[in-house]
């Protein structure tokens, strides 16, 4: 997979506009309550087929969310590494892995398209491979009981409001 999804994000937006979908620029809906149905993007990566389903159902409103990897995400994670209950070697390894991701700052790392139909939220998601590495790092930090400093939200809102 491409190291970023910037051009695909632009392509999807043009397609949505060309097919006269109503584009609702939303935050990620992953935290919404509801029944989710996920498109198998591994076997059927073409977003047009997902959107064709919406058209066949008479749905024109598409929630469109892109996630960009930012410098402050890495900086906050590096701070959490320092506070984490890890060995010196584990901290060095995490710091190295976090710093290696600097080359992706400013790139789109995830795309989410969703629509609602009969009480369910239908979801099409794509993520870069390096974003999966980022989530592994966050999971390791979470497992280490790293706590954000008072007044900080943790992970720069990366899971929720990015």
| pLDDT tens-place string over residues 70-113 | 999 899 899 999 888 889 999 999 999 999 999 999 999 999 99
Give every residue of the chain whose pLDDT is below 50, as ranges: 1, 149, 151-162
Distant-in-sequence contacts of 48-57, Cβ < 8 A, 24+ apart: 48/15, 50/113, 50/122, 50/124, 51/15, 51/16, 51/19, 51/21, 51/113, 53/122, 54/21, 54/115, 54/117, 54/122, 55/19, 57/117
């Amino acid at each position: 997979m491409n190291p970023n999804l910037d051009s695909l994000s632009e392509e999807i937006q043009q397609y949505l506009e060309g097919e006269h979908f109503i584009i609702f620029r939303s935050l990620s809906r992953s935290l919404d309550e509801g029944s989710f149905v996920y498109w198998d993007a591994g076997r059927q990566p073409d977003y047009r087929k997902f959107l064709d389903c919406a058209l066949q159902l008479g749905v024109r409103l598409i929630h469109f969310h892109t996630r960009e990897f930012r410098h402050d995400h890495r900086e906050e994670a590096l701070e959490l590494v320092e506070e984490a209950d890890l060995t010196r070697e584990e901290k060095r390894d995490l710091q190295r892995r976090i710093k290696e991701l600097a080359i992706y700052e400013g790139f789109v790392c995830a795309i989410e398209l969703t629509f609602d139909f009969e009480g369910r939220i239908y979801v099409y998601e794509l993520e870069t491979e390096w974003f999966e590495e980022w989530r592994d790092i966050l999971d390791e930090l979470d497992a280490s009981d790293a706590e954000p400093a008072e007044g900080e939200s943790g992970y720069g809102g990366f899971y929720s409001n990015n």
